[in-house]
Structure 1
């Protein structure tokens, strides 16, 4: 079962969380295979999407946002756009549009940042928007990670969180065909309810020293350990000398927010003439959800009802109670 664990380092201004997606991740992959064998992602894309799914869950849980967190990566390369969406209850879905060949050893740079113009956008879309309220979006270039070498997703997101939240962050991500996992360590604000130093004053240099020590421990975690070991074993091996305060685990799950009503609205947006021409050519309108693979089919009668006022529709069959 997929699980997310949150924890605090007792007396230190450092928090952490670790996620391990198992059934949620394998269901996402299974739905792609069931829909069309050709839609199965090449391995480098699958790895990137698993890391995005794990990172999205960690970031949504970290900010406690009442709405959807949407992570989008786009640029130039065979992956035109990749999306991970996580709701407040940690239900998630991911998709990617892949065009062209993907090398078996491709990295993030090769997939979406061929010419150095790739971007990662994080959008916070409120569940109940107030009149005039807009979604918040932050964007960071994929080549904004410090140091040499090719950019990776963990480094890009660390940069984003330092930039948007002004908090030092260490992130480790990994994915396989059966598991997508991640570990996030973050330095808490010097003051406020997030600082749990139990009344003990701590100067900035001491705070940074504690964070750096724990971040180094987190950075020693290898991808194969994150994927193969259970959460309890990972935390024990990394932080056996630290006293941690643990919270009840949460259960991320796959869920899609698509519906026939939403697709109906999209068809109405096309207009009656355009919808009619599609049905004349193909016999029906067939819309497939990119996230879950579910098909929504509208024949001529279904489409006509969309553009007919409720009072003008013929009565449906009666039901005898």
Structure 2
């Protein structure tokens, strides 16, 4: 795969994912920057600012993980919890499209705003986060589930990798709005770094505390929360932790420049970027098939006074209208 010289000038590009490797540290990863696509999604729904921020984080995380798929399929992130944001769904359709939606408990959101409890953990509350890989009807879906206990999405993602993928990983997410000539626009960004050494011995858990050191003696360890003690991973992890939100959002700081700042001493290499875009999976045929899947009694209850059935897509807000006779004309569509 072609690589780019991180020291050379590069164009400013949004809505793309830049894969990279740092061979000297045995790490690989991706950087995502979402501009017009996430601004379209958040602007369309006009969520309150705290909700837009959390959904933007979820979108950046989903695109980071979804673009790793090596097949035609779908990666979905979904949360269900008892917080002001009762549910979020972000769909990524490989290789390059995504959509996102959030459901809000208005009363709980008002209470959170009044009390100032607006962190991601506060807004999600307690529940679960599920990440699903779906390769189509001919294969078994894979799903990893993480308990949400008022932690950030970054922390939930780290937990997912520890228990489901068993790959030492670090993720940074950032969401914010910037003022442009066209007004205020939403942006989101993310960085994923994973430790992938050639030798599996380097993934072994660190030794336990020896237990016989003299009282007051400090025992040094570079063990991280994944239980891995390795100098290369410790260095990579420390570098990731220096990334600031503005570095993920600044439209004048390219992903390649950020990677150069982090890893130039180790010889980071970047690969061909993957462009992503906002796009919904809904269609007239899909919605019609969904309606035909309801019982005759339920369909009858949906008919409006003018004899039509109307459905609005919760992702893209597109409105579909059908004559009652059209819905009754055939069997449910099969995806």
TM-score surpassing 0.5? yes
- Worse overlay, 85-94 or 100-109: 100-109
1:213 aligns to 2:235 (yes or no): yes
The residue correspondences of 1:119-268 to structure 2 (distance < 5 A) are 119-127=128-136, 129-130=137-138, 133-143=139-149, 151-177=151-177, 178-191=186-199, 208-228=230-250, 229-268=253-292
Q: What's the CA shift for 1:226?
A: 1.4
User: CA offsets per residue over residues 116-151 of structure 1, 9 Å max, x none?
Assistant: x41110111113x32xx43111101123xxxxxx51
Aligned residue number for residue 10 of structure 2 = none
Aligned equivalent of 1:303: 324
State the distance in 2 between where 1:74 and 1:245 align. 38
1:288 to 291, 306, 312: 312
Instruction: Tell me how far apart the structure 2 counterparts of residues 182 and 212 of structure 1 sit (CA, whole Å).
Output: 20
Cα gap change, 1:280 to 1:2, in 2 (>3 Å): closer
* Whole-angstrom CA distance in 2 between matches of 1:218 and 1:4: 17
- CA–CA distance in 1 between the matches of 2:40 and 2:242? 30
Distance, in Å, in 2 between the alignment partners of 1:187 and 1:207 is 12
Q: Does residue 1:107 correspond to 2:122, yes or no?
A: no
1:240: how far off?
A: 2.6
1:69-92 deviations in whole A, cap 9, x for unaligned? 100111102222101111111210
What 5-or-longer segments of structure 1 have no aligned partner? 33-39, 144-149, 193-200, 311-321
Q: TM-score, normalised by structure 1?
A: 0.80
Give the secondary-structure state (helix, strand or coil) at the position aligned to 2:106. Answer: coil
Between the aligned partners of 2:287 and 2:79, the Cα distance in structure 1 is: 24
Give yes or no for the alignment of 1:12 onto 2:25. Answer: yes
C-alpha change, 1:243 and 1:120, in structure 2 (3 Å) is same
Q: In the TM superposition, what is the alpha-carbon distance from 1:179 to its structure 2 partner?
A: 0.8
Task: Say yes or no: does 1:67 pair with 2:89.
Answer: no
| Per-residue deviation, residues 167-206 of structure 1 (Å, max 9, x unmatched) | 11010001124211000010015449xxxxxxxx979689
What's the CA shift string for 1:219-246, capped at 9, x where partnerless? 1111122111321332222223120122
Once residues 291 and 308 of structure 1 are traced to their aligned partners in structure 2, the CA distance between those partners, rounded to angstroms, is 27
Aligned to 1:36: none
Q: Secondary structure at the match of 2:280?
A: coil
Cross-structure match for 1:198? none
**CA-to-aligned-CA distance 1:75-115 (integer Å, 9 cap, x gap):** 102222101111111210000111214234412332221xx
Gaps of 5+ in 2: 1-13, 178-185, 207-227
Residue 195 of structure 1 corresponds to none
Match of 2:181 in 1: none
Q: How much does 1:29 deviate?
A: 2.1
Q: Secondary structure of the residue that 1:176 maps to in structure 2?
A: strand
Name 2:34's counterpart in structure 1.
21
Structure 2 match to 1:196: none
| Rounded Cα–Cα distance in structure 2 between residues aligned with 1:294 and 1:280 | 18
Match of 2:8 in 1: none
Normalised by the length of structure 2, the TM-score is 0.77
The CA deviation at 1:10 is: 2.3
Contact between 1:256 and 1:292, CA under 8 Å: does it hold in 2? yes
- Higher strand residue share: 2
Q: Secondary structure at the match of 1:93?
A: strand
1:274 aligns with 2:304: no
Q: Structure 1 residues 172 and 257 mapped into 2: Cα distance closer, same or farther (>3 Å)?
A: same
- Contact 1:12 1:207 (C-alpha < 8 Å) held by counterparts: no
The aligned counterpart of 1:46 is 52
Q: Does structure 2 conserve the Cα–Cα contact (< 8 Å) formed by 1:140 and 1:160?
A: yes
